[in-house]
Homo-oligomer: A and B are copies of this chain.
Amino acid sequence: MQIDFAAQIEELKARVSSLEQGGQENKLSMVVFSGDLDRALASFIIATGAAAMGMEVMLFFTFWGTPLLRGPGKTAVGKDLMGTMFGAMLPKGAGGARLSKMNFAGLGTSMMQGLMAKKNMASLPEMIVLAGELGIKICVCELSMSLMGFKREEMIDYPDLMYCGVATFLEQAMGSKIQLFI
């Protein structure tokens, strides 16, 4: 009988280990695809809220989200024609993001920013600084960097900034309780 217990306990241990390894942690993984001010604000409100609650947070910036991370005073040399064009047309950092609706040639965006300041809400660039202080990890999509011709020396100084591909996002997302695409 005792041998029977031992075998059953071993079997249970293996099943529990398997469940533990496959489990999802108190982590949030988010794809920041959009470069619109409203969606970017939503990303950072969710991300900093999660970090404040003790969750580990990873943001994966791709496509239109990528230029949000350009450093305002930074430049890069040796760009090809396409990279120079994209560089000129896309917002130069989070401060240049616009509302997806009711932008009205920038007026709606300025109104929203004024309103946020009046309500003592952090601006998008301020939220990015806060995110860094809270230990939020940022991954920038290498494919988007390459497509848009961005160079690493153009990007903001951020405590935990990495350059990675979709596989890194997927690995993180699989082990996260919450995943969002914004």
A151-182 interface code vs B (CB 8 A; 1 in, 0 out): 00000000000000111011101100111111
A4's nearest neighbour on chain B, judged by CB, is B6
A1-25 interface code vs B (CB 8 A; 1 in, 0 out): 1100110110011011001101110
Q: How many copies does the complex hold?
A: 3
What band does the interface of chain A fall in when counting residues whose beta carbon is under 8 Å from B? 35 or more
Whole-angstrom CA separation of A178 from B181 in the bound complex: 11
Interface of A is mostly: helix
Cβ of A109 under 8 Å from chain B: no
A11's nearest neighbour on chain B, judged by CB, is B13
A5's nearest neighbour on chain B, judged by CB, is B5
A177's nearest neighbour on chain B, judged by CB, is B174
